[in-house]
Copies of this chain bind each other. A is one copy, B any other.
Amino acid sequence: MPSPAPTVAELAERFSLGVRGDATARIRGVGTLANAGKDQLAFLANPRYRGQLDDSTAAAVVMRAADAEGFGGTALVAEDPYTAFAKIAAVFEVVPVRQPGVHPMADIHADAVVDPAAHVGAFSSIGAGSRVEAGAFVGPGCIVGENCVIGAGSELLARVTLVTRVRLGQRVRIHPGAVIGADGFGLAMDAGRWIKVPQLGGVVIGDDCEIGANTCIDRGAIEDTVLEEDVRLDNLIQVGHNVRIGAHTAMAGCVAIAGSARIGRYCMIAGGAGIAGHLEICDRVVVTAMSLVSSSIREPGEYSSGTGLMDNRSWRRNAARFRQLDRMARQLRDQEPKDDTQ
């Protein structure tokens, strides 16, 4: 634990950063480039905000060496300023102290096991056959069903539901409203009515995963739905049954993934994108916002669908022509000079 007001020099040493300017300034918190006070640290990572640098009143700014050239203030120089800032900001984060123990208004099943070094909050219930390991935190209003495991140091912040057969690794962090392990959407038509396909699998979530608020991850039909380690999901994401998401993949809000899709490692799926079922996406794929992946992707790279935004009048005109596009293409093809090589 550093002093509550480390100097720039102390931060530079602790986080292996370079310094330009006054290394003796004391830092008492963090702020934005635009609004940081005279004892606060700011950062510059996104070039969009470079214009705010010269007017910044921050005590010091974390930035790349190239941005530090000619900067008149104090710079902490980092190869990746955002990562460096993340680490420094953690120094100033005040985290509420969490006492181990079970709240008197919690409901623990006789066949559940709660480690004495775990916390279970008010109005939470832990079902038969479930286990809460040491250092785990189950906040208020959480429902943990049968046969779940909450690994050491994992956190259900509040009002999280683990339905059944959900196994969390260590240091998993789940935000309020998330529902993990609900029935997959398995239906079969029988004589004009739907019948339910039993969902006999579970959900396995690897170490260091993070699951956003109101995100849903269904349990598998036969085998498990799987998130490998260090997967990061934002809010309001839907993960269908038997999906597998590779380690270190991150997804922004409102992504929807249909059943049995397999997604690689180190992928980045932007907000509102959709991924159809029963396909594969290889490692290191980027999908841009609101794009639909409807077949497998076998090469790393960035992928998109959709059209750009237009004023509505222009859009109407162009969208009307989209309906004629095949006819237009055939007309153009007919105009092409004919030769034997085509």
Contacts and interface: CB of A to CB of B under 8 A. Distances in A.
A130 B112 CA distance: 33
Interface string A19-53: 00000000000111001000000000010100000
B82 A188 contact: yes
Contacts of A143: 139-141, 158-159, 176
A71 interface: no
Contact of A200 (B30, B105, B250, B331): B30
A83 interface: yes
Contacts of A288: 312
Contact of A189 (B80, B183, B313): B80
Interface residues of A, number: 127
B194 A250 contact: yes
A278 B48 CA distance: 8
Interface string A318-342: 1111111110110110011000000
A261 to B, nearest CB: 11
A163 B193 CA distance: 29
Nearest to A29: B200
Contacts of A324: 318, 329
Given A238-B253, A306-B307, A197 B85 contact: yes
A93 interface: yes
Given A123-B141, A140-B143, A312 B307 contact: no
A99 interface: no
A82 B309 contact: no
Contacts of A198: 86, 89-90, 92-93
Contact of A318 (B187, B218, B322): B322
A317 B208 CA distance: 39
Contacts of A125: 121-123, 140-141
Nearest to A299: B311
Interface string A113-125: 0000000011101
A27 to B, nearest CB: 14
A133 interface: no
A167 interface: no
A109 to B, nearest CB: 10
A238 B159 contact: no
A140 B107 CA distance: 10
Given A274-B289, A289-B274, A308-B319, A177 B177 contact: yes
A171 to B, nearest CB: 10
Given A254-B254, A290-B274, A304-B315, A212 B182 contact: yes
A250 B306 CA distance: 25
Interface string A219-242: 000110000001010111010100
Interface of A: 30-32, 35, 46, 48, 80, 82-83, 85-87, 89-90, 92-93, 96, 103, 105, 107, 121-123, 125, 128, 139-141, 143, 145-146, 157-159, 161, 163, 175-177, 179, 182-183, 185-190, 192-198, 200, 208, 210, 212-214, 216, 218, 222-223, 230, 232, 234-236, 238, 240, 248, 250, 252-254, 256, 258, 271-272, 274, 276, 278, 286, 288-295, 297, 299, 301-326, 328-329, 331-332, 335-336
